[in-house]
Amino acid sequence: MYKFLIQPILFLLEAEKAHRFTAFCLKTAFRIPGIKALCRWSFSFEHPSLEKEVFGLRFKNPIGLAAGFDKDAELINELSCFGFGFIEIGTLTPKPQAGNPKPRLFRLKKDQALINRMGFNNKGVENAVARLQKRQSKLIIGGNIGKNKNTPNDEALSDYLQAFETLYPWVDYFTVNVSSPNTPGLRALQEKEPLLALLHALQEKNLQKTKPKPILLKIAPDLSNEQLDEIIEVVLSSQIAGVIATNTTIQRENLQTPAKLIEKIGSGGLSGQVLKDRSTEVIRYLKENSQGAFPIIGVGGINAPEDALEKLKAGASLVQIYTGFVYQGPAFVKRITRFLARSV
The CB-based long-range contact list for 100-107 (8 Å cut-off, 24+ gap) reads: 100/182, 102/16, 103/14, 103/15, 103/16, 104/16, 104/268, 105/14, 105/15, 105/16, 105/19, 106/15, 106/265, 106/268, 107/11, 107/15
Distances (CA, A) of 34 to 39, 79, 134, 135: 9, 15, 20, 18
How many CB atoms sit inside 10 A of residue 288's CB?
11
**For the residues of 113-161, what is the DSSP string, one character each?**
EEEE---S-BS-HHHHHHHHTT----SEEEEEE---TTS-GGGHHHHHH
HSE-up of residue 163 (Cα within 13 Å, Cβ side): 32
Residue 279 is among the residues annotated as catalytic for this protein: no
If we measure between CA atoms, which residue out of 136, 102, 106 comes closest to residue 121? Answer: 102
If we measure between CA atoms, which residue out of 289, 310, 159, 284 comes closest to residue 232? Answer: 289
Catalytic residue among 80, 180, 279, 290: 180
Distance CA 162, CA 159 (A): 5
301-311 exposure pattern, b = at least 16 Cβ within 10 A, e = fewer: bbbbbebbbbb
- Annotated active-site positions, please? 180
